[in-house]
Structures are given as structure tokens and as C-alpha cells.
Amino acid sequence: MAFESDVFYDLMTDTVTISTRTTQDLYGSPSFSTGVARRARVVEKQGMVRTSEDKAIEYTHVAWVHSTGNTAAVDDRVTLDGVNYLVIKMVERYPDEDGAHHVKFLLGY
């Protein structure tokens, strides 16, 4: 697992805190863990993708996160630079020749 490129890492100027969804109450309101801070590059970009089940997913931000593990899942929460609460709508993991390299999140409200 190489994260070889200093240039790639230097582009990640934002900090995101990823909080895992833990439970929900009787009314369906979720609760989240404290969270783990990760270095990332976040860009405001509105768009829509379709899942394999033909469900439309709208997003407002794209984040490339410095992580090589299973850091988050759909419906987990992301805090951007301590301010915004966004929900992970889709997770994409990208490998290089040595294995996992970075993770891309599509985020929305």
C-alpha cells in the first residue's frame, strides 16, 4: 500500500472528520460516533448518479480522502473543516499497483 506521491498528498488541503452511523432512535434520527480526522481534498460539485438498482443519488460535494482502509460507508457523516455536516452518498475505492490508494466520497445533505 503505497501513498507514493507527495504532490497528491499536498493537494489534500482540507480536513474531514468521518463519523460512523451507530444507531437511530424510535423516530429514525441517527446518532454518530465521535469521528476520525482525515486529510482530504473537497470540491463543491453538484451532480447525480444512478445505482445499479436505478436509484438516483444527488450529491453536492466530492471528497478525495487520504485513506487506504475501509474508513466509511454510505450514510456515515462527514464534518468538513469543523463546519458542515454532510452525509456520504457513495464510496469509491481506488487502487494502485500496490493495492488500496485513496477513497472518493460523493457527499450531500
The pTM assigned to this predicted structure is 0.79
Q: How would you write the pLDDT of the chain (109 residues) with one tens digit per residue?
A: 444 566 677 888 899 999 988 888 899 888 888 888 998 999 999 999 998 899 999 999 999 988 766 668 888 889 987 777 788 888 888 777 776 667 899 998 8
Under a CB-based contact definition with an 8 Å cutoff, are residues 51 and 57 in contact? Answer: yes
- Distance CA(19)–CA(31), nearest Å, equals 9
Beta bridge partners of 87: 77, 108
- Contacts of 53 by beta carbon, 8 Å cutoff, 6+ apart: none
